[in-house]
Structure 1
């Protein structure tokens, strides 16, 4: 049954939403668009009528008349629309740079605490990054000023894959070093069996996995699973790959394809950003979180029994 009462929808509008942020759009603009869209559609629905006000008139020494009328001070024409931009709390769980597209998690109203929990839980993210050999730019992206041109035909896929394996091994070693553990020790083995090792600090980018999924010179595409990353770091990674391949490279596109347990299949596209889709997506996200917490609980119980 389709609910048309704005008050009911407003009271149930609390949770997290998974949307797809287009490249070139700032996170702040996505947030502003979502809030304005929700408030606009709520105001177009059946809203709360003005509160009643008791009017007493007449001569106190004689008979008084009492009337109950709508309070004009509460009329939308006086106080404005029932739902405004500042009424809806909204915060993001992961920040994507302007050049980056992909999954963005937003918490609405009471869902801001859930978004904060996901953010502070140091969840890993996965990216699909496309680069191009032969050109180096000032800001490592396709829109930057070209600072160097090089040859690239000597670059082979097998050489790129070896480099990526080496980079992954270096980062795995760094993970244990940040924990103060020797990678060859029994303690390191026990840490590894408990799951992903997360650094105590949120300022150190770490790569858990990196691989080449497409190689068609001069372009190539890699997928990376990481934590504590930021846009410039990922773009500079493509630049470093170009240098280590005795060439140069810049980033063509940068897409977040997974954040925590949310994937592209869960994300609302720009054209789907409306109230009804947001409500459906909120329910879907709640189920995903509940299912994930159930799996974590089962794993923890199994570890305790073991």
Structure 2
């Protein structure tokens, strides 16, 4: 369930400088589908600028003036400097003042949980990237048709029958895909899956490819099937949207039919899940600050999980 912030006590902050200092950390948002990452990023920063500039901001610095006859006592007085006035230099807080990056990039066709680091929190976003944390997706597919982009928005290039396909057939293929990836992990390590060395490596934690170009699936299962629609839940690393779309396409081929992807939703990444994600209607300064506090608390309690101390794959010498 997505965080709706219902009946949450409000904390009133009127000074923009205090609010600006609070904008350092990690926060979670829900990126809608058909919205690019840059559009979502620009919307967040634009809203933060609006909210900060609507608060009490720093006054223009004083300009010192000295007037009068230099042979006599001169007058010294101050007035607000026009060179520092918002009507001259623009609003106090501008988009270029913010540093904001995403830890788990979501493409235009993808939606769901997106973890962002802002200002001083960008270091934690980088650490999450480096830790190669698994990502969980909920992927919906449609049997009986295939498109040129492997996604529902593409042009239909093939149709096929699907009424003979049953739930147990999808379950078997998902289990086969998962087993194939498990074998691949140990093969890259040069180990036999039945050996003691493979067991000792597996109990240390998830095995992660050192090469970020090698996608790896840890778990894949069918959670819902109402023909012709089905839903998969996948836990993986080093994936991208095209790889996940191709996975649905390959599933359709192995079922002796065709299938196309209709939705890709990220519902868990690293230490965070969808419950923390702010909906677009809640994208404002106060909710971002509260979300940063929640996320920073989770990070401080689980810092050791972001260290790169888990075993990783080492490709065999050719």
Q: Please give the TM-score of this superposition, normalised by the length of structure 1.
A: 0.95
Quick one: which of 208, 220, 223 aligns to 1:210?
220
Q: Which residue matches 2:123?
A: 113
Q: In the alignment, is the contact (CA less than 8 A) between 2:128 and 2:306 conserved in 1?
A: no
Q: Does 1:92 align with 2:106?
A: no
Structure 1 portions without partners, runs of 5+: 301-306
* Superposed displacement of residue 16, structure 1: 1.0
* Superposed displacement of residue 120, structure 1: 1.3
Quick one: which of 259, 284, 287 aligns to 1:277?
287
Q: Does 1:239 align with 2:239?
A: no
* Superposed displacement of residue 60, structure 1: 1.0
User: Which string of whole-angstrom CA distances, capped at 9 and with x for unpartnered residues, describes residues 221-280 of structure 1?
Assistant: 110000000001101111000000000000111100101111110100111101100000
Quick one: which of 162, 165, 190 aligns to 1:180?
190
Quick one: which of 86, 94, 103 aligns to 1:76?
86
* Superposed displacement of residue 293, structure 1: 2.3
Could you say what secondary structure the match of 2:194 adopts?
coil
Q: Which residue matches 1:131?
A: 141
Give runs of aligned pairs for residues 234-273 of structure 1, distance below 5 A.
234-273=244-283
Could you say what secondary structure the match of 1:170 adopts?
helix
Quick one: which of 132, 155, 170 aligns to 1:145?
155
Q: Which residue matches 1:33?
A: 43
Structure 2 CA distance for aligned equivalents of residues 183 and 290 of structure 1? 36
Quick one: which of 168, 171, 180 aligns to 1:158?
168
* Number of residue equivalences: 299
Structure 2 CA distance for aligned equivalents of residues 295 and 117 of structure 1? 10
Q: In the alignment, is the contact (CA less than 8 A) between 1:179 and 1:199 conserved in 2?
A: no
Could you say what secondary structure the match of 1:103 adopts?
strand
Runs (4+) of structure 1 exceeding 4 A deviation are 294-297
User: Which string of whole-angstrom CA distances, capped at 9 and with x for unpartnered residues, describes residues 31-61 of structure 1?
Assistant: 1100010011100100000011221111111
Structure 2 CA distance for aligned equivalents of residues 21 and 104 of structure 1? 6
More helix by share: 1
Which structure has more RCO (C-alpha within 8 Å, separation ≥ 6)? 2
Q: In the alignment, is the contact (CA less than 8 A) between 2:131 and 2:306 conserved in 1?
A: no
Structure 2 CA distance for aligned equivalents of residues 98 and 114 of structure 1? 24
Q: Higher mean Cα deviation, 278-287 or 64-73?
A: 64-73
* Superposed displacement of residue 156, structure 1: 1.1
Q: In the alignment, is the contact (CA less than 8 A) between 2:26 and 2:121 conserved in 1?
A: yes
Structure 2 CA distance for aligned equivalents of residues 143 and 37 of structure 1? 30
Structure 2 CA distance for aligned equivalents of residues 296 and 242 of structure 1? 36
Q: Does 1:103 align with 2:110?
A: no
